[in-house]
Amino acid sequence: MQIKPYWTDTRTPFSSAREGRVPARASVVVVGGGFTGLSAARTLAMRGIDTVLVEAGEVAAAASGRNGGHCNNGTASDLAGLAASLGLEEAKRLYGLYDSAVDFVEETVRGEAIDCDFVRNGKIKLAAKPSHVDGLKRAGEFLARHVEPDLVFLDRAALQGEVRSDAFHAGIVMPRGAQMHMGRFGVGLAEAAARHGAAIFDNAPATGIERLAGGRHRVTTPKGNVTADAVFLATGPSLQGPFRWIRRRTIPMGSFIVATEPLSETQVAATMTGRRNCVTSKNIGNYFRLTADNRLIFGGRARFALSDPASDAKSGAILRRALAKIFPALAEIGIDYTWGGVLDMTPDRLPRAGVHDGLHYAVGLSGHGAQFSGFIGDRMARLIAGEADANPLDGKAFKPIPGHIGPPWFLPFVGAWYRFLDWRS
């Protein structure tokens, strides 16, 4: 078993990183080389705007390369709950943004000919307890009535045609979701941005950002300083660097994943005949899917901790037991990869994008970044390029989280609360 992401270990390395020092001047500096920043750099470069992107490590190797491989539509929060707090029309508008986001990913993959096993085969939400069935059915009816006309409810018997497990009691199929090889998509997006003219520097963390006269900013990196007319922060849940304003407003949350050895066709037929993305109905549940080479990618919030090699190994053992419980036919399957990633959560699980102190930003994707990141990166690039109404999240309040001024000391308490909710449900 390797403590590394399957996605980054099985991708072709990025070949177009710039060597040497960053230029002294650029029109736009993008900070962060995940999907959000790479998409923004691509859009800016396609418009002929002089763009420099600086990334602390390798492109698309942090959150963008450490996820579960799902590219689903739909908000992170329950639509009915959003409608109750924001109003039905605003909830539907936000839901529609995620439809647009999956469309954007597909258009980018097709337009740039990115070889990443993209397939639009939908998602199933699975009732993990008998008591969840009625609530899942009501949620499905609400979704079908307002935003998901093609949604299908599956009772326990019908569900066996999709997921062959006795652990689930019903499911709802939302057919517009997608999946892809995240590592290959990330490198393909980086190569596309570079091909259009963006200058991408990896291993170049932003260590300082200084506001200058005339609204410009100077970004400091170990590879030199670059002054720009505009700066876009696409840092995700970065725990290092001059991003305290963002860190006060987002919660870093660990999520952990294992990838099995390739399954035989017999094992696939005994477990995941539908080959869709799957998520369970518990607060501390699991998500899983098959890859093109028939590995089961199986993840969840196994521990309320951040990711490091020791934490990833402990979490992998927990996930291995959960996998065996859900799929007894795979109880002895080999685990080839174990890894963790860090999500940037907001309290309401809705993303934020805007401008603060002259800096553009898009953060807080709350576990739905694989689909939304490229879309919002493109929209913020359009805003920087002069499209005044390009940001679909403009005006969303983004307040600091009370008591959150450093490392997330409260994660164990959050975990205890969610475990209680799952026990009670």
Q: What is the mean pLDDT of residues 156-169?
A: 96
175, amino acid identity:
P
Q: Token pair for residue 252?
A: 């870093």
Query: Which residue shows structure tokens 């709350």?
Result: 366
CATH numbers and ranges of domains, the chain:
2-120+178-262+301-310+341-415 (3.50.50.60)
Q: What is the pLDDT, as a whole number, of residue 194? A: 98
263, amino acid identity:
L
Q: How many Å apart are CA 384 and CA 28, to the nearest integer?
A: 8
From the list 285, 282, 281, 301, the residue with the least C-alpha distance to 342 is 301
Q: What is the mean pLDDT of residues 313-335?
A: 95
Question: What value does the mean pLDDT of the chain take?
Answer: 94
Strands 51-54 vs 123-126: parallel, antiparallel or unpaired: unpaired
Query: Which residue shows structure tokens 């939400």?
Result: 125
Q: What is the mean pLDDT of residues 393-403?
A: 93
Q: What is the mean pLDDT of residues 128-139?
A: 96
Q: Token pair for residue 11?
A: 């991708």
Q: What is the mean pLDDT of residues 28-37?
A: 98
Close Cβ partners of 193 (under 8 Å, ≥ 6 residues apart):
38, 39, 41, 42, 45, 53, 200
From the list 229, 254, 224, 226, the residue with the least C-alpha distance to 239 is 254
Task: Kindly report which listed range (112-121, 226-235, 304-313, 415-424) carries the lowest average pLDDT score.
Answer: 415-424
Residues paired with residue 342 on neighbouring β-strands, in sequence order: 254
Q: What is the mean pLDDT of residues 59-85?
A: 94
Give tens-digit pLDDT for 195-211.
999 999 999 999 999 99
Return the HEC string of the chain.
CEECCHHHHCCCCCCCCCCCCCCCEEEEEEECCCHHHHHHHHHHHHCCCCEEEECCCCCCCCHHHCCCCEECCCCCCCHHHHHHHHCHHHHHHHHHHHHHHHHHHHHHHHHHCCCCCCECCCEEEECCCHHHHHHHHHHHHHHHHHCCCCCEEEEHHHHCCCCCCCCCCEEEEECCCEECCHHHHHHHHHHHHHHCCCEEECCCCCCEEEECHHHCEEEEECCEEEEEEEEEECCCCCCCCCCHHHHCCCEEEEEEEEEECCCCHHHHHCCCCCCCEEEECCCCCEEEEECCCCCEEEEECCCCCCCCHHHHHHHHHHHHHHHHHHCHHHCCCCEEEEEEEEEEECCCCCCEEEEECCEEEEECCCCCHHHHHHHHHHHHHHHHCCCCCCCCCCCCCCCCCCCCCCCCCCHHHHHHHHHHHHHHC
Q: What is the pLDDT, as a whole number, of residue 302? A: 63
Global confidence as pTM: 0.95
pLDDT band at 370 (very low <50, low <70, confident <90, very high): very high
